[in-house]
Amino acid sequence: MAINEDILARFRNVVGERGIITNAEDMVPYVTDHRELFQGAAGAVLRPASTEEAAALVAICAEAGIAVVPQGGNTGLVGGSVPDGTGKAVVLNLGRMNKVRALDALNNTMTVEAGCILADLQSAAEEADRLFPLSLGAEGSCMIGGNLSTNAGGVQVLKYGNARDLVLGLEVVLADGRVWPGLNALRKDNTGYDLKHLFIGAEGTLGIITAAVLKLFPRPGQVETALMAVPKLEDVVPLLADARAASGDAVTAFELLPRLGLELVVKHFEGIRAPMETASPWYVLMEWSAGENTRKETDDGTLRAALEAFLEARFNAEVVTDAVVASSEAQARELWHIREVLPESQTREGGSIKHDVSVPVSKVADFIAEGTRRLEAQMDGIRVFPFGHVGDGNIHFNVSQPETMTKDAFYEHWKSMNRVVHDLVMDMDGSFSAEHGVGRLKRDELAHYGQPLDLELMRRLKAVFDPAGILNPGIML
């Protein structure tokens, strides 16, 4: 049904003027995805301030057959958080639902609303001397509801798991407007199917997450950060295995950076200098964390000593040819800043085609080498730019346009590049979507590579949870 004045009046009745946007110009940021690949249109943007309001809005949509596109910080990279161009859907933006409802330090949990910004939740945990470990480049604007709906990964998965692993309970508005009250804070609960996991990673197609109970952890007292030059790609994964053993499994991050990445960061970000003079085809940013929160008393703690001994042994073995170990939190932040702006440096350099893929960790080097060979054979001057979460086998196997080609001409090869990379990933028992989801961008890839039985079961689940198909239609399936 079209969104007429009568429907808009009913929406206003629920959320008031503060909770609704109907002016086309004001709606632009809500209907344009982060990468500006998808420009949609909406009948209205709705911004509920409570679960009750969200449920009432969805009930109106269900009755009128209006499609609902749930949205958090709109930082998703697969076009899942914006509507199509018909203008027949509403965007349900959760940003006003941003309260921490409870924090139970002894139970190591916090109960939060879906519109809380991830960085704010990290701070809330820190204030209670706890750690909420989910961490990603968009943490200053992405929201926990979006993180859970995409089952976000990030830089600490190696130690703490994906977003899915950090949740004990959820509250969800269902497609008919009822609220599923699953906010339990239990670490053991085997009373039937674990329904919350169906909503996590569902990209808003099965329900709208309005709140969650998140797991908290002790805050590590000792955190050591090192950037290492590792010339040989085949040494990277064994280096990770050695680091895990040498540190007593204290490796919390292990990020691969290519030389091109470091060069583009220095080129495009004023004020960032190369952290070391040694040029190397590959670098690894590694973090070790451990121990009680005793930083003040242990200026030269045991973790630091263990890291230095580890590095010395790797220098002697010529696996690592140079390293910078952060001597302060500020220097550690500077090293992390390079990693965080790496994707943006590629955007500033021109056209880029991204592949968020994973393979078994043991196959990472073979995948990068073979993928690079195949892409370079496909196009002269192409600049392969692989980086990311080696510890999870998750490589952002991105490519930058040749310097001599226009962006538009490069983008004509988008689908054929995807095919080359994704074919290789599937041959290596990997995934064509490691952490960003399927959304609109990879829907055809799911249809192409998905197992028929998987797809059948997914469609049946969709029919159970959303029989009228109003929740984020056109996404994923």
- What is the per-residue burial (b if ≥16 Cβ within 10 Å, else e) of 11-23? beebbeeebbbee
Tokens 């993928």 locate to: 371
Select from 85, 79, 101, 90 the least CA-distant residue to 19: 90
* Torsion sign (Cα): 14, 208, 27, 342: positive
Q: Which of 343, 351, 371, 393 binds ligand FAD (CB under 6 A)?
A: 343
Decide if 213 contacts 265 (C-beta within 8 A). no
Q: Does 472 bind ligand FAD (CB under 6 A)?
A: yes
**Residue 74 or 222 with smaller CB distance to ligand FAD:** 74
CA–CA separation, 426 vs 432, rounded Å? 7
- Give me the residue label for tokens 């000593």: 305
Query: Does 150 engage in binding with ligand FAD (CB under 6 A)?
Result: yes
Judged by beta carbon, residue 107 or residue 347, the one nearer ligand FAD is 347
Q: HSE-up of 433 (CA within 13 Å, CB side)?
A: 24
Q: Minimum Å distance from CB 396 to ligand FAD?
A: 8
CB of 238 to ligand FAD, least distance (A): 24
Contact 386, 398 (CB under 8 A): yes
Q: In what order do the strands lie in the sheet with 44-46?
A: 20-21, 44-46, 90-93, 68-71
User: Shortest distance, CB of residue 115 to ligand FAD, whole angstroms?
Assistant: 8
Task: Indicate whether 474 belongs to the interface with ligand FAD (CB under 6 A).
Answer: no
- Contact between 149 and ligand FAD (CB under 6 A)? yes
Element (H, E) at 92: strand 90-93
What would the two tokens of residue 121 be?
A: 């939740």
Q: Which is nearer to ligand FAD, 138 or 320 (CB)?
A: 138
Binding mask 129-148 vs ligand FAD (x if CB under 6 A, - otherwise)? -------xxx---xx-xxx-
Smallest distance from ligand FAD to CB 232, Å: 26
Question: Is residue 109 a contact point for ligand FAD (CB under 6 A)?
Answer: no
Min dist. Cβ of residue 343 to ligand FAD (A): 5
Closer Cβ to ligand FAD, 80 or 371, answer by number: 80
- The answer to whether residues 236 and 230 touch, using CB atoms and an 8 Å cutoff, is yes
CB of 154 to ligand FAD, least distance (A): 4
C-beta of 416: minimal distance to ligand FAD in Å?
Answer: 25
Which residue lies nearest ligand FAD, judged by its C-beta? 146
In contact, 470 and 66? CB cutoff 8 Å: yes
Nearer to ligand FAD, 389 or 413 (CB): 389
Write out the two tokens for 277. 């003079």
Size of the site for ligand FAD (CB under 6 A): 37
Dist CA 157 CA 139 (whole Å): 15
**Max intra-chain CA distance, the chain:** 75
| Burial of 2 (C-beta count, 10 Å sphere; 0-12/13-18/19+) | exposed
- Tell me how far, at minimum, the Cβ of 383 lies from ligand FAD, in Å: 20
Taking the least distance from each CB to ligand FAD, the nearer of 10 and 96 is: 96
**Comparison of 71 and 352: residue with beta carbon closer to ligand FAD:** 71
- Which amino acid does the sequence have at 467? P
Q: How far is the CB of 158 from ligand FAD (least distance, A)?
A: 12
Site map (CB under 6 A) of ligand FAD, residues 22-61, x = contact: ------------x---------------------------
Using CB atoms within 10 A of its CB, is residue 250 exposed (0-12), middle (13-18) or buried (19+)? buried
> Is there binding between residue 383 and ligand FAD (CB under 6 A)?
no
Provide, rounded to whole angstroms, the least separation between the CB of residue 153 and ligand FAD: 4
- SS3 breakdown of the chain: % helix, strand, coil, rounded to 5? 40, 20, 40
CB of 202 to ligand FAD, least distance (A): 7
Chain residues 180-239 in contact with ligand FAD, contact rule CB under 6 A: 203-204, 208-209
Residues 240-299 that bind ligand FAD (CB under 6 A): none
CA–CA separation, 300 and 103 (whole Å): 33
Interface positions, 65-94, toward ligand FAD (CB under 6 A):
69-77, 80-81, 94
The residue (of 70 and 391) whose beta carbon lies closer to ligand FAD is 70
CA 46, chain centre distance (Å): 24
Binding site for ligand FAD (CB under 6 A): 34, 69-77, 80-81, 94, 114, 136-138, 142-143, 145-147, 149-150, 152-154, 203-204, 208-209, 343, 435-436, 439, 472, 475
